[in-house]
Structure 1
C-alpha cells in the first residue's frame, strides 16, 4: 500500500490556467488569462533585467524594499504589509494559518476558484452564497456566514464576472459578521476601477483587526510572470502570515521589478485608460451581435451564449480557437453558458469581435 495523503487532498481538482495554445495556429491571440494588454512597465522590465547580475545572492527575506515602496505609493504602513508569490500564495497562507478541518469558509456564488482550493486544502467546508445579477449579494453572504464562518472571501471586483460592490456595502458586510470571522478582500483588479463608490478596502483594513486585503502585481502592473502579490492588514494578521510563509518566498527579480512597477504611475494610468476605452467598446460591439455581456469594471468581459445547438459557449470556444482566438471557458465556476475574454490590444479586440460575428452569423 502506498503512502496516502491527508483525507480530502485527492478530491482537489488542480487549478487550470487559461489556455495559451491553439492547435495548428503558430501565433494565436491569447485573451484567456486577464493579462495586461500593454505588457509591463519598461522601468519594471529594466529593473528585472538588471537584477540578473545578483542572481547568486539570496533575496531579502522580508522584501523590505518592496514593502516600503508599496507603503510609500499607497499611503500605508510598511510593517502592515507582507509580500508573496502572487496573491494566490497569500490566500493559501491565510487558509494554512486560520483554517482547521471542519471550519466554514464562505464565498459568493461565482467567487474565484482559488478560494475553493484554500478551503479543501485545509479540510474546511466551502459555502457559496447566491449572487444577484452576477454580483455579490451582501445579504446572502451574511446569511451564509451565520455566526460560525471562519473566513469570508470577497473578490471585489470579482473574477470571472467583472462586477463589484461599493465600499458602503463592504462595510455593511463587515459590520454584520462576527468579530471571530476574518473578512478577506481580494482586490486583484482594484486599479482598473474608477467608480467613486468603490474602495479596495485598505482603509477598512487599517481600521479593524478582522479584515485583510490582498493585491497583485499580475494585472495592472503586467507582472504575471514574476508571481508577485501583497497583503495589508492589522499587525496581528501580518505577523501570522510572516510566520507561515517561506523564508524567501519572493525572489530577487520580482522584488526589483515590483519596486519599479509600483512607482510607475504613468504606466498604470495608461493601462487603466486603455482598459476603460476597450472594455466599453467590447461590451457595445459584442452586445450588438445579440450576445449578453455582463457590465465589467475589470480588464475582461463575461459573454453569455444561448443554449441553442451550434451557438453554445462550447461551440463558440471551439470556433474561436480554430481561428487562433483563445478566450476562457468558465464552466468550472458554474457558468457553462459563458466565456470570459480579456481586453487585449486594439487589433486583438477587433479580431475577437470579428470572430464572434462570424460565429454568430455562420
Structure 2
C-alpha cells in the first residue's frame, strides 16, 4: 500500500508546459511557450560557456553577482532582491512562507496557472475574480479579497490573455487591500510593454512593505532553459524568502549567464522591437480572417475560435500541429475556445497566418 501524501496533494493537476513536438513533422515551429524568437544574448552564451570550467564548485548561495547586476541595471538595492529557479520558484516560496491551510488566495479569472498550484500546495483556498474583456477588473478583485485574503496574485501583463492594467489601477488595488494582504505583482512580460500608463510595480514595491514584484529571465532575455527569475520587495519580505529557499537554489552557469544577459541592453531592445512588429502583424492578419484576437502587449496573442464544428480551437490546434506549427491550448485556464500563439521568427509568423487562412477557408 502506498504511503498517503498530505491531504489535497493528489487533487493537484501538475502543470503541463507547452508542447514541443508535432508527430511526423521534422523541425516544427514551436509557438507554444512564449519563448524569445531571437534566442538569447550571445554575451549570456559566452558567460555560460566560461562557467563550465567551474562546474565542480558550488554556486554563491546568495547569487550576489547576479543580484548586483540586476541592481545596477534596475537602479535598485541588491539587498531587496531574491533570486530563484525561474519566477515560478519565487511564487512557490511565497506560498510556503505566507500561506497556512485554509488561507484565502485571490487571482483574476484567467490568472497564471501557477497561482492555483501555489494555493493548493499550501492547502489554501483560491478565489478567482471575474475579468472584464479578458482584463483584470480591480473592483472585482477588491470585492473577492475582502478583509481576509492572505495573498493577491496579479499578473501584469497577464498570461494567457496578454492584457494589462495601468499603474493607477494597481495602486488603487493596493490601497483598497488591508495591510495584512500581500500583493504579488507578476511582471514576467514587463519588458515588452511600452504603454505610457503602465508600470512594472517596482516603484510601488519600493514604497511599500506589503508588495513584491516577480521578474523572469525566461522571456525578453531568452534564458528559459536555465530557469532563472528574481523578486523585488522590502527587506522584511526578502529576509523571509531567504529563510525558506534552498541554500544553492540558483546554479552557477545561470548566475553568470543572467548577469551577462541583463546587461545586454542591445539584445533586449532588438527583442522588444521584433515583438512589437510581429505581435501587431499577427493581430491584424488573424483578425482579418474573422477571428477575435485579444489585444496583447506581450510576446503572444490569444485567438478565439467559433464553436462551429470543424472550426473550433481544438480543430485549429490539430490542423496547425499537422502542419508543423505548435501552439498552446488554454482550456485549463477556462478558455476552451481559444489558442495562445507565441510571436516567432518572421518566417514562422507568416507561415502561421498562411496556415490559419487555409484552415478558415477550407
Q: TM-score, normalised by structure 2?
A: 1.00
Deviations 1:148-190 (A, max 9, x none): 0000000000000000000000000000000000000000000
Q: What pairs with 1:106-185 in structure 2 (closer than 5 Å)?
A: 106-185=106-185
Q: Distance in 1 between matches of 2:148 and 2:159?
A: 26
Gaps of 5+ in 1: none
Q: What pairs with 1:278-317 in structure 2 (closer than 5 Å)?
A: 278-317=278-317
Query: Which residue in 1 is equivalent to 2:34?
Result: 34
Q: CA RMSD in A?
A: 0.4
SS of match in other structure, 2:335 = coil
Q: Distance in 1 between matches of 2:70 and 2:281?
A: 32
Q: What pairs with 1:65-144 in structure 2 (closer than 5 Å)?
A: 65-144=65-144
Q: Distance in 1 between matches of 2:279 and 2:72?
A: 30
Deviations 1:54-109 (A, max 9, x none): 00000000000000000000000000000000000000000000000000000000
SS of match in other structure, 1:337 = strand
The structural deviation recorded for 1:26 is: 1.1
Q: Distance in 1 between matches of 2:355 and 2:52?
A: 41
Q: Distance in 2 between matches of 1:354 and 1:326?
A: 14
Q: Distance in 2 between matches of 1:166 and 1:46?
A: 37
Q: What pairs with 1:1-362 in structure 2 (closer than 5 Å)?
A: 1-362=1-362
The structural deviation recorded for 1:126 is: 0.2
The structural deviation recorded for 1:216 is: 0.1
Q: Distance in 2 between matches of 1:281 and 1:77?
A: 39
Q: Distance in 1 between matches of 2:234 and 2:59?
A: 25
Gaps of 5+ in 2: none
Q: Distance in 2 between matches of 1:359 and 1:350?
A: 14
Q: Distance in 1 between matches of 2:101 and 2:15?
A: 21
Pairs aligned (count): 362
The structural deviation recorded for 1:2 is: 2.3
SS of match in other structure, 2:127 = strand
Q: Distance in 2 between matches of 1:123 and 1:75?
A: 37
Q: Distance in 2 between matches of 1:49 and 1:332?
A: 38
Q: Distance in 1 between matches of 2:352 and 2:207?
A: 44
Q: Distance in 2 between matches of 1:158 and 1:225?
A: 21
Q: Distance in 2 between matches of 1:98 and 1:54?
A: 36
- Deviating 4+ runs (over 4 angstroms): none
Q: Distance in 2 between matches of 1:356 and 1:264?
A: 36
Deviations 1:128-156 (A, max 9, x none): 00000000000000000000000000000
Q: Distance in 2 between matches of 1:2 and 1:107?
A: 34
The structural deviation recorded for 1:245 is: 0.2
Q: Distance in 1 between matches of 2:204 and 2:45?
A: 33
The structural deviation recorded for 1:229 is: 0.1
Deviations 1:297-345 (A, max 9, x none): 0000000000000000000000000000000000000000000000000
Q: Distance in 2 between matches of 1:195 and 1:273?
A: 14
Q: Distance in 2 between matches of 1:233 and 1:126?
A: 23
Deviations 1:188-222 (A, max 9, x none): 00000000100000010010010000000000000
SS of match in other structure, 2:247 = coil
